[in-house]
Amino acid sequence: MEQIKWVRNTMEKSEDKYLSVMTTDEVEKAKHFHESFPQYSETPLVSLSQLASTIGLNSLYVKDESYRFGLNAFKVLGGAYAMGKYVAQQLGTTVDKLPYDVLTSDKLREEFGQATFFTATDGNHGRGVAWAANKLGQKSVVFMPKGSTEYRKNQIAKEGATVTIEEFNYDECVRKATAESKKVANGVVVQDTAWDGYEDIPNWIMQGYGTLAMEASAQLGKAGTDVPTHIVVQAGVGSLAGAMVGYFSNLYSNTPKKPKFIVVEADGAACLYKGAVAGDGKPRIVEGDLPTIMAGLACGEPNTVSWDILRNHADYFVAAPDWVARLGMRVSAAPLKGDTSIISGESGAAPLGFVMAVMTMPEYASLKNELELNESSKVLCFSTEGDTDPERYKNIVWYGLDK
């Protein structure tokens, strides 16, 4: 069995200029925007208290994003907010003046006109962009990487998008989306990865993701955990990880003891981990087909903004083999008596799978000690998607297959 790889963050700090992207004030604007949607409701923070006690933790919480806007994944938070911010920018106003009922009005459509939003996706982000574009009466074009499933493609098409599965990886799809957007009038790339010259929209997407962090922090407080000791978050390009680490770093900036931030990637696409291993502060790229069942994490080129946040504030980077995700999926689906079941997809289950492996497998005892995971630990994980590919989910959870 492939081993989990990990590295402690020893990179020299940068000037940390991007932490301000995820201030509580900025995230609050995004949350108010999302709250204006009739589809909005707070997703559950599940306390797995029986499991925590059994594996030797004080408490274990999982933020369950399978309920988000009826789309079975968190990604819509970023795409919708970025599109709202973009429309506001084009109209010379601010996003707080564009709640859902205004954004979707005939009057605004006349003022703004017709745009086509382009994106690359394994499924969740593209579906979120397509859904938001459809609600706003706009067009969307979605490119999916090699290996994407027909089911996920069809879910995006149902939202009115033009969608294709390409013969290359995610990062090449990003480049295609960018190139194609320049060929049409009012073509706009809505991508959660940043590069030099393309930062505003990725920053807005990260702020949109902040809604789930702000919800989680309030829910933790109600549960009696003001500050968790450990926050474990998955990463593809790193936008969600940067958003979560950035938000909680700002939120707990005056806390005597901050949480340990642990970033978990798919071993087949562990660009952040490789950057941390190199230790020079420069991002690294993983090329090729990026083989992993964690389709949402199969990204080989980091978001430069989130990389800078993680470089300064993440404590550990982890490269997890696929069995870690499968373990997390099964434990989520069949918890101990008294705990709530969570339908967690391949990318969604990686953090919980990692915690389970570290707490229960003897070969990771030294990592458990290094991370100070023990009976005093209060751990927060994120399940970012439900069964976004139901057949694959059943194959893994019901039949014990690899994918």
Average model confidence (pLDDT) across the chain:
95
Token pair recorded at residue 283: 């991002």
Residues for the chain: how many in total? Answer: 403
Token pair recorded at residue 377: 């630990």
Alpha helices, DSSP H, located in 188-292: 200-222, 239-251, 271-278
Q: What is the pLDDT of residues 105-145, one digit of tens each?
A: 999 989 999 899 999 998 889 999 999 999 888 999 999 99
pLDDT at residue number 92: 96
Q: Name the CA dihedral angle for 345, 142, 234, 169, rounded to a multiple of 10 degrees.
A: 100
Residue among 140, 159, 163, 141 nearest 150 (CA):
163
Question: Helix 304-313 vs helix 271-278: angle between axes, to the nearest 10 degrees?
Answer: 50
Element containing residue 336 per DSSP (H, E): none
Q: What is the pLDDT of residues 318-372, one digit of tens each?
A: 999 999 999 999 999 999 999 999 999 999 999 999 999 999 999 999 999 999 9
3-state class (DSSP) for residue 260: strand
Q: What is the pLDDT of residues 178-227, one digit of tens each?
A: 999 999 988 999 998 888 889 999 999 999 999 999 999 999 999 999 99
Beta bridge partners, 266, equal 320
With a cut of 90, say whether residue 246 has pLDDT above it.
yes
Report the C-alpha gap between 383 and 293 in whole angstroms: 15
User: Contact 369/293 with Cβ under 8 angstroms?
Assistant: no
Pairing verdict, β 59-64 and 45-47: antiparallel
Mean pLDDT of 61-77: 96
Q: In the sheet where 260-266 sits, what is the strand order?
A: 5-8, 316-320, 260-266, 230-235, 378-383, 59-64, 45-47
Give the global pTM.
0.96
Beta bridge partners, 198, equal 195
pLDDT at residue number 289: 87
Which residues are marked as active site? 75, 122
pLDDT at residue number 194: 84
Q: What is the pLDDT of residues 268-303, one digit of tens each?
A: 999 999 999 999 999 999 998 889 999 999 999 999
Share of the chain above pLDDT 70, in %: 100
Token pair recorded at residue 278: 């190199």
Q: What is the pLDDT of residues 148-163, one digit of tens each?
A: 999 999 999 999 999 9
With a cut of 90, say whether residue 83 has pLDDT above it.
yes
Q: Choose the weakest-confidence range: 34-38, 266-270, 285-289, 383-387.
A: 285-289
Q: Name the CA dihedral angle for 326, 328, 334, 339, rounded to a multiple of 10 degrees.
A: 180
Residue among 50, 48, 68, 156 nearest 380 (CA):
48
pLDDT at residue number 135: 87
Token pair recorded at residue 315: 């404590």
User: Contact 189/119 with Cβ under 8 angstroms?
Assistant: yes
